Structure 1
Amino acid sequence: MAFEKLPYYPFFYFIFVMFVLNLSIASDTLSSGRSTKNGEKLVSTDQRFELGFFSPGNSKNRYFGMWYKISPETVVWVANRDKPLTDSHGFLTFSHDGDLVLVDQSKSVVWSSNLSRVVKNPVAQLLDTGNLVLRENFSLNSDDYRWQSFDHPSDTLLPDMKLGWDVKIGFERCLTSWKSKDDPSPGDYTFRLNINELP
């Protein structure tokens, strides 16, 4: 009787391995109708960056940000820098207009990508460069990004990130220090390009 069951073992072993792999491999995308809550992360395809909730230093406040996977204490971008969550019940999701929004326990919007136009089938993706992008589900073209974290840096300049002014639309990208190691809200120092005089 024992030999008759042997052929089934490889099949069940395969199913078990696939189940474990699915639990351990995080996605790099968040699609419409889904959300990311405390304890869940987006991980870039090359496993370099992670995106999720964290508390810096000795702070008990919760922030949504990005860090190097091999060095979680090295945070490179924070969404809600000056509007922390005071508990672990917030989550990142999409509004009915396709905006990427961070909401608290009472469903109040704490942070938003603040889009100027509606995105019908939004997808947020954490790229291998450390850029969080918001795009239509059908388009992978960087020219079609509706929003990207590279346009809203915190205190870290990553490769391929631009600093300075887009004079066509009057938009500035600059770096601003944290207030302290426990508080990522904008501090006293800013690194920017001065366009009031000739370069």
Structure 2
Amino acid sequence: MAAITHLFVYSFFFSLFRISIAQDSITPTQSIRDGGTTLVSAGRSFQMGFFSPGNSKSRYVGIWYTVSSDTVVWVANREASLSDHSGVLKLADDGVLVLLNSTNGTVWSSNTSTTPQNPVAQLLDTGNLVVKDGNNDDPEKFLWQSFDYPCDTLLPEMKLGWNLVTGLERFLSSWKSTEDPAQGENSVRIDLCKTPSFVELKLKQFCVATCQ
């Protein structure tokens, strides 16, 4: 009896260990389901999964601080909510993240211009959700990253402004309300026609207003 008990305890903790080491990433053979597994960054700073803001019943995929699930720093489908708990987030073989509803319709998806051989989606300790090829951790080689599509929160290591090569604009925009993360009326953008001092002042004011 004692041997059986020890075997059960060992199996239980071994299962927890396996879950913990795989918690920060998914591959095309895995998925994140509403009400199921969440991603937790390696240092347990950030967590990603499904949530409903405030008293809303709408469902979104977001990233929040592990110590405070109410502090959401990024939302994937901020313009297209799910109406129930049937959502599934998957990583396709071509390296594209896809959020599906109950009828397998695409609610939201990422993008990539390169098809990887071994795509992996990983939540980093910076709060950045990245899609990369295998174990290539070079930020310049990321196929896609959430830091390129900010919501209302400016995190350390996140960049704002224009990528003059790709034409991508990174900017901050407020939520419509505490229960609706869709893009609101207020935004912070880099105006290429303004002086650097003007841009830095505006960003500092925004950070003080939102980060405290």
Whether the TM-score (by the shorter chain) exceeds 0.5 is yes
Deviation of 1:187 (Å) = 0.2
Q: How many angstroms does 1:12 deviate by? A: 4.8
Does the CA contact (< 8 Å) of 1:99 and 1:119 recur in 2? Answer: no
Which letter does structure 2 place at the counterpart of 1:70? V
1:43 match: 40
* Number of the residue aligned with 1:161: 158
| Residue pairs, 1:7-46, within 5 angstroms | 10=6, 12-22=8-18, 27-39=23-35, 40-46=37-43
For residue 114 of structure 2, the aligned residue among 107, 117, 122 is 117
Q: Hey, what does 2:54 align to over in structure 1?
A: 57
- Where 2:14 maps in the other structure, the secondary structure is helix
**CA offsets per residue over residues 79-122 of structure 1, 9 Å max, x none?**
00010001110111023422111111111111111222322321
The 3 A distance-change label for structure 1 pair 125 and 182 is same
Q: Deviations over 1:10-41 (max 9, x none)?
A: 55543343345556776100112211001220
Paired position in structure 2 for 1:187: 184
CA contact (8 A) 2:171 2:188 kept: yes
Residues 168 and 19 (structure 1), Cα distance of their counterparts in 2 relative to 1, 3 Å cut: closer
CA distance in 2, matches of 1:160, 1:190: 19
Q: 1:136 aligns with which of 133, 137, 141?
A: 133
Relative to structure 2, which stretch is displaced further, 76-85 or 111-120?
A: 111-120
The 3 A distance-change label for structure 1 pair 169 and 111 is: same
Report the CA distance between 1:161 and its aligned residue. 0.5
Amino acid at match of 1:119: P
Unaligned runs of 5+ in 2: 197-212
The code of the aligned residue for 1:58 comes to N
Match of 1:127 in 2: 124
Deviates more, 1:72-81 or 1:99-108: 99-108
Query: How many residues get paired?
Result: 195
CA distance in 2, matches of 1:88, 1:18: 30
Letter in 1 for 2:174: S
Q: Whose radius of gyration is greater, 1 or 2?
A: 1
Q: Per-residue deviation at 1:166?
A: 1.4
CA drift of 1:69 comes to 0.8
TM-score, normalisation: structure 1: 0.89
- 1:28, 1:43 within 8 Å by CA — same for their partners in 2? yes
CA distance in 2, matches of 1:140, 1:38: 28
What is the Cα deviation at residue 8 of structure 1?
7.0
CA distance in 1, matches of 2:110, 2:141: 15
**Could you tell me which residue of structure 2 aligns to residue 99 of structure 1?**
96
- Structure showing the higher helix proportion among its residues: 2
Q: CA RMSD in A?
A: 2.0
Length-normalised TM-score, structure 2? 0.84
SS at match of 1:59: coil
Q: 89-98 or 170-179: which moved more?
A: 89-98
